[in-house]
Amino acid sequence: MTRVLPVILAGGAGTRLWPLSRELYPKQFLRLTSEATMLQETLSRLDGLDAEAPYLICNEDHRFIVAEQCRAVGVTWGAIVLEPAARNTAPAIALAALHATSRGDDPIMLILAADHHIAHPDAFRAAIAQGAELVREDQLLTFGIVPEVPETGYGYIKAGAPVGQRSYAVAQFVEKPDIETAKGYLSAGGYYWNSGMFMFKASTYLKELETYRPDIFKVCERAARSMSSDLDFQRPGPEFAKSPAESIDYAVMEKTSRSLVMPIDVGWSDVGSWKALWEVSPRDGSDNHMRGDVVAVDTSGSLLISEGRLLAAVGVSDLMIIETADAVLVAQRDRAQDVKRIVENLRASKRSEHQTHQRVYRPWGIYETVEEGDRYQVKRLTVNPGATLSLQMHHHRSEHWIVVQGTATVTCGEKESVVHENESTYIPIGSKHRLANPGKIPLHLIEVQVGSYLGEDDIVRFQDAYGRG
């Protein structure tokens, strides 16, 4: 029997969830609806399915985050495929299908986004099992969400003639409607939210893609032929960047005569905005969802999240207030979709807050900027047990390292030394150096940088365990 191959698309940017979500650490890697991240929740929903090890599709910047979050929950992946450039879902899925069929298999692919919330995973798994039976006959199945309200933030699928007991031929894909049109869909019935989740045999998808978008198919085929392994990752050929950027809906699903829709009611949300997060989160008697160090007085209908500092609200209603180390967002709840305009403004102003947090994740651990000033910068570093930073040097800065907890092995020039808790060491400008954690607990240290230029691009790497040039 053909098994299901989950393919998890983990390349989104999550701009509407700024300031928690940033380009280099977007929402799929955040803990938003539980103690697990959105990606880890997606992986956990595969438990109980007769499924192969999942494929994950992501970009270069996120590769080590994806791998580490899989390891943290004990998930072994079939492949982590790195997109040379973001080209939307149709080419990304083609890469996964081509890689899978290159092994001589023709699996049923289950396409999932890494950043969706599903409140009823058992019902979801039951729908997947039923869907697998439908697509054995070369159908392309999309899962339609039974609508609860006249939502204007989602596209819709209009169901046509019944096919079996649970599915329908797709009559039409409909763009995001205005509110009056959405109310009409809800009252008419037979319209479902487009979830962005799909099932089909790999060969069926490739055949339909070649038929309707041969330009995408040919570019992806060339890129897959030149795919190479790099550590834990699969790198398609650079030709992939030449593919047209197209969603699977436009490229295939709206054109093929083989598309089906299965309505499901699984408590689904794409958590595409702060309002959506408020809707799926537990709330108190005043309809507030509060997380972190929050005090609220005479406040109702609000989403209040603090990442560090005390957040206090008095006499307000229907607000979203999100505090992080370097930014605070205050907005009316019904303006949630407009948060992306803040991100666009930051990007146009060439600021960095749309891209990175003060806390930055690296394959060896984490660094966090504590303070910046004229010619100096203070960072807090956490190096994972057994991890080693690259052998490197800086042209414009010296560094002072103070070990707060754990033990560090430090290479500076030709000398290697062990630095213990409450000890420090100095790295002069221009010295080749390396930091490693030989212990079994995280290494915590304070790094003080001093120099004329303190940017992260002042790094010359000579050796690196993570394949970074």
Query: Encoding tokens for residue 271?
Result: 């958590």
Helix (H, G, I), strand (E, B) or coil at 352: coil
Residue written as token pair 């834990």: 232
Q: Give the domain ranges of the chain.
A: 4-269, 275-347, 359-463
Q: For residue 261, what pLDDT is reported?
A: 96
d(Cα 259, Cα 254) in Å, to the nearest integer? 8
- In angstroms, how far is CA 288 from the centroid of its own chain? 26
User: To which H or E segment does residue 233 belong?
Assistant: strand 233-235
For strand 259-264 and strand 191-201, is the pairing parallel, antiparallel, or unpaired? unpaired
User: What is residue 137's predicted lDDT score, i.e. its pLDDT?
Assistant: 85
Encoded tokens for 95: 């890469």
Helix or strand holding residue 404 (H, E): strand 397-405
Query: What's the burial of 9, exposed, middle or buried (CB within 10 Å: 0-12/13-18/19+)?
Result: buried
Q: Quick one: which of 316, 322, 344 has its CA closest to 277?
A: 322
Residues 6 or more apart whose Cβ sits within 8 Å of residue 315: 297, 298, 299
| Dihedral, 142, 147, 152, 155 alpha carbons, nearest 10 | 10
DSSP alpha helix (H) spans, 79-235:
89-101, 121-134, 179-188, 202-212, 214-225
How many other CB atoms sit within 10 Å of the CB of residue 239?
17
C-alpha to C-alpha distance for 251 and 244, rounded to whole angstroms: 10
- Token pair, residue 307, equals 């990442």
Map residue 133 onto helix, strand or coil. helix
Return the number of other C-beta atoms located less than 10 Å from residue 102's C-beta: 12
Model confidence pTM above 0.85: yes
Rg (CA), the chain: 24
β-pair partners for 198: 111, 142
Question: What does the alpha-carbon distance between residue 62 and residue 140 come to, in Å, rounded to a whole number?
Answer: 29
Residue with tokens 């370097």: 326
Contact, 70 vs 171, CB < 8 A? no
147 near 192, Cβ under 8 Å? Answer: yes
Give the per-residue pLDDT at 165.
Answer: 81
Which pLDDT tens digits describe the chain residue by residue (469 residues)? 468 999 999 988 879 999 999 999 999 999 999 999 999 999 999 998 889 999 999 998 899 999 999 999 999 999 999 999 999 999 999 999 999 999 888 999 999 999 999 999 999 999 999 999 889 889 999 999 999 899 888 999 999 999 988 899 999 999 999 999 999 999 999 999 999 999 999 999 999 999 999 999 999 999 999 999 988 899 999 999 999 999 999 999 999 999 999 999 999 999 999 999 999 999 999 999 999 999 999 999 999 999 999 999 999 999 999 999 999 999 999 999 999 999 999 999 999 999 988 888 889 999 999 999 999 999 999 999 999 999 999 999 999 999 999 999 999 999 999 999 999 999 999 999 999 999 999 999 999 999 999 998 999 999 998 887 6
Rounded-to-integer distance, Cα 327 and Cα 344, Å: 15
Residue type (1 letter), 147: P
Question: In sequence order, what E strands does 334-375 have?
Answer: 359-362, 365-373
**DSSP H or E run through 347:** helix 339-348
Cβ proximity of 148 and 135 under 8 Å? no
Q: At 175, list the tokens.
A: 């763009």
CA distances, 420 to each of 365, 367, 382, 423, 424 (Å): 19, 19, 15, 6, 8
Residues pairing with 159 in the sheet: 170
Distance of CA 435 to the CA centre of its chain: 29
Dihedral over Cα of 296, 298, 301, 302: its sign: negative
According to the CATH classification, is domain 359-463 in 2.40.50.220? no
- DSSP H helical segments within 7-51, as ranges? 38-44
Q: Kindly report the CATH number that applies to the domain delimited by 4-269.
A: 3.90.550.10
Q: Give the per-residue pLDDT at 48.
A: 87
